[in-house]
Amino acid sequence: MKRVFLGGSFDPVHDGHLGMICLVHQRLSSLDLPYVISFLPTAGNPFKSMPTNSDHRLNMLSLACDLLQNQSINISIDTTEIHQIPPIYTIDTVQTLAQRYPTDERIFVMGGDSLANLHMWKNYEKILTHIKIWAFARKGKGNDDIALNVLARMTDDFDDFLKDKAIFYDKSPVPAISSTQIRQAITDAKQPPHLPEPIFDYIKNHQLYKTVL
């Protein structure tokens, strides 16, 4: 069994996140192997300010799950991190997942910006002993700013990743958008590009992000 986790604040969840999930699903569905995909929302990022209330983010993720399931993509929400007290470190989470799923292959999905910062994460080399990483390249950017010791563990060949490489560098195109940009655009009371309509409606109904000017 392959267990795939897309981690993040999801503040809010947007088309960039959904695009990565769709691409992961497309690749894995071509394999004759069972797999499970889950959102893994965090309570807080050590490198970022505190996110929106966890209940709102979970509700928006639930709406995102509905959108994906309408495309025949089954996905769940793993709440391992979101109810913990920040700061939350990935090393602690992947150790928990390793204990929970000791016989499954665990894969952590992230964007290229996160991969570029991986060498600054707490015990990042130990992270790779517990979980593989599937990173999506940033549109229009190469891998020049990725640390050399991370590059050594990386491949852009999916078959090599399945065999023995720790990091898959996926060059498939995904929307170049950030949750920060989405939050700033929401203040105009118009639906920003790359924000699904059900998520935007939820944000309007609950008056989220109104303090971002």
What digits encode the pLDDT tens for the residues 94-120?
A: 999 999 999 999 999 999 888 989 989
pLDDT digits (tens, 9 = 90+) for 121-172: 999 999 999 999 999 997 656 666 688 788 889 999 999 999 999 999 999 9
Give the per-residue pLDDT at 46: 55
Find, among 127, 118, 122, 121, the residue nearest to 96 by Cα.
127
Other CB atoms closer than 10 Å to residue 28's CB: what's the count?
17
Answer whether 139's CB lies under 8 Å from 19's CB: no
Please say whether the beta carbons of 202 and 63 come within 8 A. yes
Domains annotated on the chain, with CATH? 2-206 (3.40.50.620)
Of the chain, the percentage scoring pLDDT greater than 70 comes to: 91
Q: Distance between CA 127 and CA 97 in Å, rounded?
A: 11
The predicted-structure confidence for 169-193, as pLDDT tens digits, reads as follows: 999 988 788 888 888 888 766 788 8
Residues 6+ apart with CB under 8 A from 89: 46, 121, 122, 123
Sign of the alpha-carbon torsion through 9, 177, 165, 68 = positive
Per the confidence metrics, is the pTM higher than 0.85? yes
- Return the higher-pLDDT residue of 60 and 176: 60
